[in-house]
C-alpha cells in the first residue's frame, strides 16, 4: 500500500499536461476528434486538444483543455463554457459547432488526480460517425492491455493499476505512452470480444516532448 502511494505521488510530481500542439493529424479511429478555437480575434490559435465521440452529439475531453485555453487566451477559466460558439469539433473532415461546453461538476474541487479532469461538449448538429462505447470498471484489471489513440497514432501499453478517486479512476500505463503535446483528450481503449471500449481519457504524461515514459488517464463516469 505504501509503495502504491509513493508511486502515485511520484507520478503526480513528474507529470505535465499534454495540452496544445502545432500538428493536426486525423486520428486512426474516427471517434477520436480534434478541438479547435474559431475566433477571428485570435486567428493565430486553432487546434488545441483531442476529444472522443461518446454519442452522436457529445464529445468527452479533458477538463484542463477547456480551462487552460480559456485562461491562456481570455484570462478566464470558464470563457469557453460561457462562449461555446468559439469551440468547433472536427469529426473526420467536417467541422461541427459546439452548442454547450460543460466542465465536470468537481473539476475545481480537487488537485491532481483527485480532480475530475473531464469536460463534455454538445454539438449543434449530430454526426453520423459511430461513437465509442464506455468500458465498465470491471473491465479494468491489472495488466489489462490498453491502447492510446490520438492524432494518427496507436500506442500499445498495459494497465499498471486503476486507483479510484470518487467518481473516476486514475489509470497508470507502463512503458512509453507515446503522448505528445496536444494529445490531451485522446482515447485510452481496451479490446473486449473484438470491440473497442473507452477505458479512459488521456490527461497527463511524463516529462519530455513525445514518447513519454508514463501515461495517465481517467476512467469516465458521466454525471453531466
Task: Report mean pLDDT in 10-residue bins for the chain, 224 residues.
Answer: 30 36 60 94 91 95 92 95 97 94 83 72 96 84 77 67 52 60 84 88 62 55 47
145 vs 4: CA distance, rounded Å:
20
Question: For residue 49, what are the β-bridge partners?
Answer: 35
176 vs 128: CA distance, rounded Å:
34
pLDDT of residue 1: 35
- From the list 34, 119, 132, the residue with the least C-alpha distance to 84 is 119
pLDDT of residue 211: 53
Region class of 117: left (phi > 0), else alpha (psi between -120 and 50), else beta: beta
Strands 87-91 and 154-165: unpaired
Distance set, CA 137 to CA 5, 25, 28, 220 (Å): 21, 31, 25, 10
144 vs 86: CA distance, rounded Å:
38
CATH second-level architecture of 132-219?
Beta Barrel (2.40)
pLDDT of residue 93: 86
Element containing residue 100 per DSSP (H, E): strand 94-103
For the chain, give every residue range classified as CATH 2.40.10.10: 16-123, 132-219
Distance set, CA 194 to CA 31, 186, 201, 210 (Å): 16, 20, 20, 29
Grid cell digits, residue 61: 475531453
Element containing residue 134 per DSSP (H, E): strand 133-134
- From the list 24, 27, 32, the residue with the least C-alpha distance to 131 is 32
The CATH class that applies to domain 16-123 reads mainly beta
Amino acid at each position: 500500500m505504501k509503495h502504491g502511494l509513493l508511486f502515485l505521488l511520484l507520478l503526480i510530481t513528474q507529470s505535465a499536461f499534454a495540452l496544445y500542439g502545432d500538428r493536426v493529424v486525423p486520428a486512426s479511429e474516427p471517434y477520436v476528434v480534434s478541438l479547435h478555437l474559431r475566433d477571428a480575434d485570435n486567428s493565430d490559435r486553432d487546434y488545441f486538444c483531442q476529444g472522443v465521440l461518446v454519442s452522436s452529439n457529445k464529445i468527452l475531453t479533458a477538463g484542463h483543455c477547456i480551462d487552460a485555453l480559456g485562461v491562456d487566451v481570455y484570462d478566464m477559466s470558464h470563457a469557453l463554457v460561457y462562449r461555446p460558439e468559439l469551440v468547433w469539433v472536427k469529426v473526420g473532415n467536417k467541422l461541427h459547432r459546439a452548442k454547450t461546453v460543460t466542465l465536470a461538476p468537481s473539476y475545481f474541487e480537487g488537485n491532481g488526480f483527485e480532480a475530475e479532469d473531464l469536460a463534455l461538449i454538445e454539438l449543434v448538429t449530430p454526426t453520423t460517425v459511430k461513437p465509442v462505447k464506455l468500458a465498465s470498471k470491471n473491465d479494468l484489471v491489472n495488466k489489462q492491455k490498453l491502447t492510446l489513440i490520438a492524432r494518427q497514432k496507436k500506442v500499445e501499453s498495459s494497465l499498471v493499476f486503476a486507483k479510484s478517486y470518487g467518481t473516476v479512476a486514475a489509470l497508470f500505463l507502463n512503458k512509453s505512452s507515446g503522448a505528445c503535446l496536444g494529445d490531451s483528450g485522446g482515447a485510452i481503449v481496451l479490446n473486449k470480444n473484438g470491440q473497442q471500449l473507452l477505458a479512459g481519457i488521456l490527461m497527463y504524461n511524463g516529462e519530455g516532448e513525445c514518447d513519454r515514459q508514463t501515461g495517465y488517464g481517467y476512467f469516465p463516469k458521466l454525471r453531466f
